[in-house]
């Protein structure tokens, strides 16, 4: 698929990555218009989801003017090739794989590399990661982001896991440049029960909360 560039200005205005893992295609088709209409604009589809490549293609073909779509759980160069062929506009890894980072830089594809320790975070950034996904966010995650930002204030951090509507503002206040949100954004109970209006309200609340932070 033709590689349309990732919209950085779009993302920077609403720096939330919604992480979709193992959703049925029929649910994806219901979720995406609600997501786009809420003001949220960046979606990550994990490559270990059934039909991940087809889902990425669907987003590109139907929401290419509204949403950034990327591939997550990219662990190998083969994963990267599959993701880019499907049309992914950015790449997210759960680990530091310098080969994947370097190949993304070679192809001018934004790469959000996973890392956790300060050494891993610096290694990913030094290899060329555009942002570093700090994962997993467990324990006193907000204080951890603050602590890492102390010696490494120049590195753009995207805490992922443990981020929700109530604490996302605290992550940004701690110095996060973005957040990655999965189940706390795509509420499984609402989706399972086909409560689409409630899901739309949930998306809108999340978007409103983030907008207020950046006013």
pLDDT in tens, the chain (215 residues): 656 899 999 999 999 999 999 999 999 999 999 999 999 999 999 999 999 999 999 999 999 999 999 999 999 999 999 999 999 999 999 999 999 999 999 999 999 999 999 999 999 999 999 999 999 998 899 999 999 999 999 999 999 999 999 999 999 999 999 999 999 999 999 999 999 999 999 999 999 999 998 76
> Which domain covers residue 99, as residue numbers?
8-208
Q: Which residues are catalytic?
A: 44, 133
Sheet of strand 68-72: strand arrangement: 157-159, 131-134, 111-115, 91-92, 68-72, 42-46, 16-20, 179-181
Asked whether residue 214 is domain-assigned, the answer is no
Asked whether residue 1 is domain-assigned, the answer is no
Please state the φ and ψ torsions of residue 11, each to the nearest 5 degrees.
-65, -45
Asked whether residue 51 is domain-assigned, the answer is yes
Q: Which two tokens stand for residue 160?
A: 């992922």
- Mapping DSSP to helix (H, G, I), strand (E, B) and coil, where does residue 89 land? coil
CB 52 within 8 A of CB 46: yes
Question: Greatest CA separation found in the chain?
Answer: 46
Count of Cβ atoms closer than 10 Å to residue 39 Cβ: 16
CA atoms lying within 13 Å on the CB side of residue 31: 28
**Domain CATH number, residue 48:** 3.20.20.70
CA distance 23 to 188: 10
Asked whether residue 215 is domain-assigned, the answer is no
- Report the number of distinct structural domains present in the chain: 1
Its pTM stands at 0.97
């Amino acid at each position: 698929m033709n590689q349309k560039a990732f919209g950085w200005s779009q993302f920077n205005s609403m720096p939330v990555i919604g992480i979709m893992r193992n959703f049925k295609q029929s649910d994806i088709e219901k979720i995406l218009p609600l997501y786009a209409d809420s003001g949220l604009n960046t979606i990550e589809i994990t490559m270990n989801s059934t039909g991940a490549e087809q889902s990425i293609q669907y987003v590109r073909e139907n929401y290419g003017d509204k949403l950034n779509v990327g591939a997550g759980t990219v662990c190998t160069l083969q994963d990267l090739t599959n993701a880019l062929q499907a049309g992914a506009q950015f790449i997210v890894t759960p680990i530091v794989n310098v080969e994947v980072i370097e190949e993304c830089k070679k192809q001018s594809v934004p790469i959000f590399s996973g890392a956790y320790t300060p050494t891993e975070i610096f290694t990913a950034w030094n290899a060329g990661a555009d942002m570093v996904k700090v994962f997993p966010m467990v324990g006193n995650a907000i204080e951890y982001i603050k602590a890492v930002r102390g010696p490494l204030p120049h590195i753009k951090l995207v805490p992922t896991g443990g981020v929700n509507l109530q604490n996302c503002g605290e992550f940004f206040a701690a110095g996060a440049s973005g957040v990655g949100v999965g189940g706390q954004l795509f509420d499984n109970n609402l989706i399972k029960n086909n409560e689409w209006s409630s899901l739309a309200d949930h998306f809108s609340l999340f978007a409103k909360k983030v907008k207020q932070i950046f006013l």
